[in-house]
Amino acid sequence: MKYLANVFPVTLIYVGVGVRQRGVLREGFSDKQTELAQFGRRTTPLTLPPFQIEDDEGRQHWHTLLKTIEQKLVLTEKYPGMLARDLSDYLYARSTGHFASLMALINRGCLRAIRSGHERLDEDLMNQVKNDAAAEAARKELEAAIEAGLLTTHPTSPAERRRKSA
């Protein structure tokens, strides 16, 4: 990889889970060799943490993400608010706020919707879609918190914010 980065005018992007822990960004076999290695000094690790919904700002980011995805969907029966309003809490619980889990779930849901002729996403259809093991393992706890009213993905409306501040 170092050779490619030195010889060709390209930017290399390594994507994956646990890239640093697996030693992909490390040269040498000992800590001393790693300290002196050039490759580790030429890379910048970036992370994408899961979306959080504990505050209104986080809920707004989640809502914006779903609205953006919703606009890009190619389903004949899609409608405004299908994801951002009607499936927001459901999709958060199913994906645990992780972007990759969310996108896999939506992609698989769209495929099932098209193949079945349903042409829209709803809970009944999405319940037939499998998601990654990590998201499914954490799903029950999030669903319980959402059903109990302890968590929501819906941002506070401007009218609610005014009422609370008054």
pLDDT per residue as tens digits for the range 57-73: 999 999 999 999 999 99
Residue 159's pLDDT band (cuts 50, 70, 90): confident
Residue 147 DSSP SS3: helix
Continuous H helices in the chain: 2-7, 31-36, 56-72, 88-95, 99-116, 123-126, 133-147, 158-165
Residue 163's pLDDT band (cuts 50, 70, 90): confident
pLDDT per residue as tens digits for the range 10-60: 887 777 777 777 776 666 656 666 656 676 677 777 788 899 999 999 999
Q: Which two tokens stand for residue 55?
A: 């505050």
Mean pLDDT for the chain overall: 88
CA distances from 109 to 76, 94, 99, 128 (A): 14, 12, 15, 8
Alpha-carbon span 135 to 153, nearest angstrom: 17
What does the pLDDT read at residue 97? 96
Q: Within a 10 A sphere around the Cβ of 140, how many other Cβ atoms?
A: 10
Q: Which two tokens stand for residue 135?
A: 């998201």
